[in-house]
C-alpha cells in the first residue's frame, strides 16, 4: 500500500464514504480512514437505518393489532417477538455496512481501519497518523476531507448509565419494552424512538424545553403533530427544564424545574448531537473549532488550512445524512473538476413518525422574522381519495410562497408517506418554481401528491376539493 494519496477522507459515514467514492471516480487516488470496523457511520450503524427498521416493524405490529380489521382482515393472537424484531434490524444494518465496504473496494478506494488525526503539514500535503489498528502508521494526503460526524450531546445533571439512561444507540436495543420510558427532547430522535416504544406497549412521556413540539419546524406542523401524537397515547410536556436524571433502585428518577420527580424504567436522552472533533489534531494544522464545536469553513467547505475540507455534522447547518452526502460530492467535484455546489435552500428534512413529517425551505416564523412578505396555502389529507383508501387521513401540506413573485419559499408536511412527497417541493424550489408552477403540473389521480397540488392552488385561493 502506497502511503501518499491525492485525497484522504477521515470518516466513513454518509458524507465520508460518498466523498471518497466520488473522488475515486474522478481519478483521484483516495484513502478513507474509519475507526469502526463496520462502515456507514452513525446513520447506518446506530441511527437512521436501524431506527427506520424499528419504526417499520412497530407500525406493522400496531396495524396487525388494531387496524387490519378495518380492511376486512381478521387476525387473532397477535403478540410481540422483540428479539426477532431486533434481529431483523441488525440484519439490515449488517447488509448495508457490507455494501459500503463493497462500494469502496469496487471504486478503488483504500479503506484504512483506525483513528485518523493530523500530525503535520509538509510540502507533499498533510501527514495523517492512524492509531488503533495493529500498528501505528502514517500516510500523506495532498487534500484531506474531515467527515467525522457527530456524537450524542450530554445534558448537565443527567447521569448516563449504559443500562438505564442513554441515548439513541441504547434505545435501539432495549432488551425488553420499558413499562415507562421518559424521553428528554421532542425533536427528531425523541419522537421517532419514543413512537417505536409507545407502539410496542411502553408508556412514553416526552419532556421538551421549548414551548412546543418540533421547535425547529413550522409552527402549524408542530401543532398538528402535537394533536396527533397525543391521540396516539404519548404524553407531551412543553416548557420543561430537566435538571437531572439518575438510576435509583431498579428504575430511574427524572427531575425537572418546578415539577415533581418522575419515576420511570428507562430514560432516553435526545437533546441533540455535537460535532465529533475529538483528538483530530486540528490545532497542528491551524484549525480552530468555534464555540459550538464546529469546524469553520468557507463557501467551498474549505477550512483555515488550505487543502483541508470539512463536511457534514462537523460544520454548520442541519445534521442530516443527505446534506453530508451533497457536501461530500461538492468537495470531491471541486477537487476533481474545479467546481462543486450545494443548494442549501432545498435540503429536505424528514421525521419518520406515523404520520411522517417533512419540510424544506423556510418556516413562516423564519420568513416573518426576516421581514419577507409571503402567502400560504394548506390542504388536508382528509380530503384526498388516496389517503382515505389507505386509511391514513391525519395531516396536511402547507406551501409558503413569496407574496410578490409567488416563488416557493418553503413547504411543510405532516401525513402519510410525506417523506416521499417532499422531493416534489425540493425539486420545485431547486428550479425556482412558483406555487402556480406546482399547481399547473398534472398530478396523477388518485395519489397523495394531489395534496401538494391542492395546497399550491390554495396559495391563490383556488383549491378545488376543499
Residues forming the active site: 445
Query: Cα separations (Å) of 320 from 200, 206, 273, 349, 443?
Result: 27, 23, 11, 8, 29
Query: Cα separations (Å) of 192 from 175, 204, 280?
Result: 18, 12, 32
Query: Cα separations (Å) of 51 from 94, 196, 319?
Result: 14, 8, 16
Quote the Cα angle for 272-352-255, to 5°: 40
Q: In the numeric block, which cell numbers belong to residue 379?
A: 390542504
> DSSP character for 158?
B
Distance CA 414, CA 433 (A): 22
Q: Sheet harboring 396-402: ordered strands across?
A: 349-351, 356-361, 408-415, 396-402, 374-380
Alpha helix ranges (H) inside 338-407: 364-370, 385-390
Q: In the numeric block, which cell numbers belong to residue 206?
A: 416526552
Report whether 286 contacts 304 (CB < 8 A).
Answer: yes
Q: What is the 3-state secondary structure (H, E, C) of 215-251?
A: CCCCHHHHHHHHHHHHHCCCEEEECCCEEEEEEECCE
Q: Which of 456, 411, 463, 455 is nearest to 436 (CA)?
A: 456
Distance CA 439, CA 449 (A): 11
The number of beta carbons lying within 10 Å of the beta carbon of residue 397 is: 32
Amino acid at each position: 500500500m502506497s502511503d501518499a494519496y491525492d485525497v484522504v477522507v477521515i470518516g466513513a459515514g454518509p458524507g465520508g464514504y460518498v466523498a471518497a467514492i466520488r473522488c475515486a471516480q474522478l481519478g483521484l487516488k483516495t484513502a478513507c480512514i474509519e475507526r469502526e470496523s463496520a462502515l456507514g457511520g452513525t446513520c447506518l450503524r446506530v441511527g437512521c437505518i436501524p431506527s427506520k427498521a424499528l419504526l417499520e416493524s412497530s407500525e406493522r405490529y400496531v396495524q396487525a393489532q388494531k387496524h387490519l380489521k378495518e380492511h376486512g382482515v381478521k387476525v387473532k393472537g397477535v403478540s410481540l417477538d422483540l428479539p426477532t424484531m431486533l434481529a431483523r434490524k441488525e440484519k439490515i444494518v449488517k447488509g448495508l455496512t457490507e455494501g459500503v465496504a463493497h462500494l469502496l473496494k469496487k471504486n478503488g478506494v483504500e479503506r484504512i481501519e483506525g483513528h485518523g488525526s493530523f500530525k503535520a503539514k509538509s510540502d507533499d500535503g498533510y501527514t495523517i497518523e492512524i492509531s488503533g489498528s495493529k500498528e501505528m502508521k502514517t500516510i500523506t494526503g495532498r487534500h484531506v476531507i474531515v467527515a467525522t460526524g457527530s456524537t450524542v450531546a450530554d445534558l448537565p445533571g443527567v447521569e448516563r448509565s449504559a443500562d438505564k439512561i442513554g441515548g439513541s444507540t441504547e434505545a435501539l436495543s432495549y432488551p425488553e419494552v420499558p413499562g415507562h420510558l421518559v424521553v428528554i427532547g421532542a425533536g427528531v430522535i425523541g419522537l421517532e424512538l419514543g413512537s417505536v416504544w409507545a407502539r410496542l406497549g411502553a408508556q412514553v412521556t416526552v419532556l421538551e424545553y421549548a414551548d412546543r413540539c418540533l421547535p425547529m419546524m413550522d409552527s402549524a406542523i408542530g401543532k398538528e403533530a402535537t394533536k396527533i401524537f397525543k391521540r396516539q397515547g404519548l404524553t407531551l410536556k412543553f416548557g420543561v427544564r430537566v435538571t437531572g436524571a439518575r438510576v435509583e433502585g431498579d428504575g430511574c428518577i427524572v427531575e425537572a424545574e418546578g415539577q415533581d420527580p418522575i419515576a420511570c424504567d428507562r430514560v432516553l436522552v435526545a437533546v441533540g448531537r455535537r460535532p465529533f472533533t475529538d483528538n483530530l489534531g486540528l490545532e497542528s494544522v491551524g484549525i480552530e473549532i468555534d464555540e459550538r464545536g464546529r469546524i469553520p469553513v468557507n463557501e467551498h467547505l474549505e477550512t483555515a488550512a488550505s487543502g483541508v475540507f470539512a463536511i457534514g455534522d462537523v460544520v454548520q447547518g442541519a445534521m442530516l445524512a443527505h446534506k453530508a452526502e451533497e457536501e461530500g460530492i461538492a468537495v470531491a467535484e471541486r477537487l476533481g473538476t474545479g467546481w462543486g455546489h450545494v443548494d442549501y435552500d432545498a435540503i429536505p428534512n424528514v421525521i419518520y413518525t406515523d404520520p411522517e413529517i417533512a419540510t424544506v425551505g423556510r418556516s413562516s416564523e423564519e420568513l416573518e422574522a426576516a421581514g419577507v412578505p409571503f402567502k400560504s396555502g394548506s390542504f388536508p389529507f382528509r380530503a384526498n381519495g388516496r389517503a382515505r383508501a389507505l386509511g391514513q387521513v391525519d395531516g396536511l401540506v402547507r406551501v409558503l410562497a413569496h407574496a410578490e413573485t409567488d416563488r416557493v419559499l418553503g413547504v411543510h408536511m405532516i401525513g402519510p408517506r410525506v417523506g416521499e412527497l417532499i422531493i416534489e417541493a425540493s425539486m420545485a424550489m431547486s428550479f425556482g418554481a412558483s406555487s402556480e408552477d406546482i399547481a399547473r403540473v398534472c398530478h396523477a389521480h388518485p395519489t397523495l401528491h394531489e395534496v401538494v397540488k391542492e395546497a399550491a392552488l390554495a396559495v391563490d385561493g383556488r383549491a378545488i376539493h376543499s
